[in-house]
Amino acid sequence: METVEILLVEDNPDHAELTRWALENGNVANQVHWVKDGQEAVDYLLKKGSYANVRRPGLILLDIKLPKLSGLEVLKKIKEDEELRVIPVIMLTTSDRDEEALKCYNAGANSFITKPVKFSEFSEKIKALKFYWLLTNRGPKASY
C-alpha cells in the first residue's frame, strides 16, 4: 500500500504534537508534515522556497484559527487551484459554531472536526479520520 503524505497546519505546538501522535499511532505509516501558519501552508502546497521538492499531500488537516492567513483563507486558495482542489481538506477547530462549519463547507472543506478537550476523545476522532480518509476513501492518483 502506498503511503499518503499528510499536511498538518496547526499553530499550537501542543495540538500539533497530539495530532501527530494520534496519526502516527497505529498500523498505517504516513509521513506527517507540520507547518505553523497559513502562509507557510500555502508555500508548502505551491512548493515555494524551501518547499520546492516536497511531495504534495494526499490529506490536509487545517486549523481554522492561524496566524498570517486564516485556515478559511488557505482553504479558499486550495480550492481555487486546479491541482490542489482534489486534496481532501479536514478543518480542525475548538469552536462548535454552526456558522463556522457552514463557512468551511461552503468554501469546499471535506470535513469539519471539533477538537475535544479530552485527549482520548481527540485521539479517537483523529484515528477515525485517518481510517476513513487514508484507508477507506479512494481519491484520484496524484500526478504532481
> What is the full DSSP assignment across the chain?
-----EEEE-S-HHHHHHHHHHHHSSS----EEEE-SHHHHHHHHTT-GGGTTPPPPSEEEEESS-SSS-HHHHHHHHHHSTTTTTS-EEEEES---HHHHHHHHHTT-SEEEE--SSHHHHHHHHHHHHIIIIII---PPP--
CB atoms within 10 A of CB 48: 12
CATH code, residues 6-136: 3.40.50.2300
pTM: 0.84
pLDDT tens over the chain, length 144 residues: 467 788 999 999 988 888 887 777 655 557 889 999 999 999 999 999 999 999 999 889 999 999 999 999 999 999 999 999 999 999 988 777 888 889 999 999 998 888 765 667 766 777 777 666 665 566 655 544
Q: Where are the domains of the chain?
A: 6-136
Amino acid at 142: A
